C-alpha cells in the first residue's frame, strides 16, 4: 500500500464513523486508577475527572484498583 491509499482509507473511515460518535458518551465513564485512594495519583485523577465532566457533560466515576503494584489496574478494561 502506498501512503496515499492509507490516507484515503483513514479519511473514509473517519467520515463513516463520525455519525456514530455524535451521541457519545451516553452513560457514566469509568476511569480506572491503578493506585490506592488518597494518594497523589488518585488526587490527580479526581482533578482530571472534574475537567472531563465539565467538558463532556456526563459523570466520571473513579475505580481505584491498587492490587499487584498497579499491574492489575493497568490491565483491567471493561
Give pLDDT tens digits for 61-75: 888 887 666 555 566
Distance, CA of 54 to CA of 50 (rounded, Å): 6
The ranges assigned to domains in the chain are 23-78
* pLDDT of 66: 75
For the chain, 78 residues long, the average pLDDT of each consecutive 10-residue run is 65 59 74 85 88 88 75 58
* pLDDT of 15: 58
Distance, CA of 28 to CA of 53 (rounded, Å): 10
Amino acid at each position: 500500500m502506498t501512503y496515499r491509499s492509507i490516507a484515503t482509507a483513514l479519511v473514509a473511515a473517519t467520515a463513516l464513523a463520525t455519525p456514530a460518535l455524535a451521541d457519545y458518551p451516553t452513560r457514566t465513564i469509568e476511569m480506572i486508577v491503578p493506585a490506592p485512594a488518597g494518594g497523589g495519583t488518585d488526587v490527580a485523577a479526581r482533578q482530571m475527572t472534574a475537567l472531563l465532566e465539565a467538558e463532556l457533560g456526563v459523570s466520571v466515576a473513579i475505580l481505584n484498583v491498587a492490587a499487584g503494584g498497579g499491574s492489575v489496574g493497568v490491565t483491567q478494561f471493561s
